[in-house]
Amino acid sequence: MTDFSGHPVVDWLGPQFARLHPLLQTLHREGGVLSGPVVIAFGTGLAGVIGRRLARRLGIPDRAGAHTLRVDISHDPGNLYWDRCFDAGTRMASVFVPFGTWPDGGWRERTGPVELWLGVDIDDGGWTWRLRGARAFGLPLPRWLLPRSQAGKRIVDGRYRFFVSFALPGLGTVLSYGGDLLPLAAASSGDEFFRAQPGDGVGQ
């Protein structure tokens, strides 16, 4: 009989949870609030038009450049919640629902009218999403329309580093955003709350 912890990430990853950086483990067990500067970028020409429309649909600012981001992370036994707030105004809320278990299972991320089906790779203590499928307004996207996505998170120099990008066939990158975040108390005081440990990853 399987024991469940009530923490969806812990239960979904099982023994693989121990491969995450200890600070990512703490974040997924206990939740928390992260804050810090991020950079949003769009493609050029038609790619930029599509990227800005996608940003507005998702709740991301449609202005390129530097922004601030606050992320409230919480969970219940069956769901993971990420509530993002850009520039103390624009909000982007996502619900992650697990199915199966690692490595063959995945997560369904619902953000506004978009639903992504995601797998997970763990490498050097970090977490990388793999896009398996997508729906928009309840309709599945055919494979030839499926965006190419890069998305992941890891601890770098004691900070939570993340990066997300979407690209479309024939157009290239339409939208990307990322940055280095700290727990809210540390970000407000300017102190480094996450302490770098041996084996911290670098890059994405």
CATH code at 109? 2.40.128.20
In a domain, 135, yes or no: yes
Is residue 80 included in any domain, yes or no?
A: yes
**Cβ atoms within 10 Å of 160's Cβ, excluding its own:** 23
Enclosing domain of residue 17: 8-188
The proportion of the chain whose per-residue pLDDT surpasses 90, expressed as a percent, equals: 83
User: Which candidate, 33, 31, 29, places its Cα nearest to that of 12?
Assistant: 29
CA 21 to chain CA centroid, nearest Å: 16
The enclosing H or E element of 116 equals strand 114-123
Residues 130-188 pLDDT 10s: 999 999 999 999 988 889 999 999 999 999 999 999 999 999 999 999 999 999 875 55
- How many domains in the chain? 1
Q: Is residue 65 part of a domain?
A: yes
Q: What are phi and psi of 169, to 5 degrees?
A: -55, 130
- Considering the domain boundaries, does residue 201 fall inside one? no
pTM for the full predicted model: 0.87
| Nearest alpha carbon to residue 65 among 160, 176, 143 | 176
How many contiguous H segments (helices) and E segments (strands) does the chain have?
A: 4, 11
In a domain, 195, yes or no: no
* The amino acid at 51: G
- Of 103, 154, 101, give the one whose Cα is nearest residue 125: 154
Residue 14 placed within a domain: yes
Residue 193 lies in a domain: no
Q: Is residue 197 part of a domain?
A: no
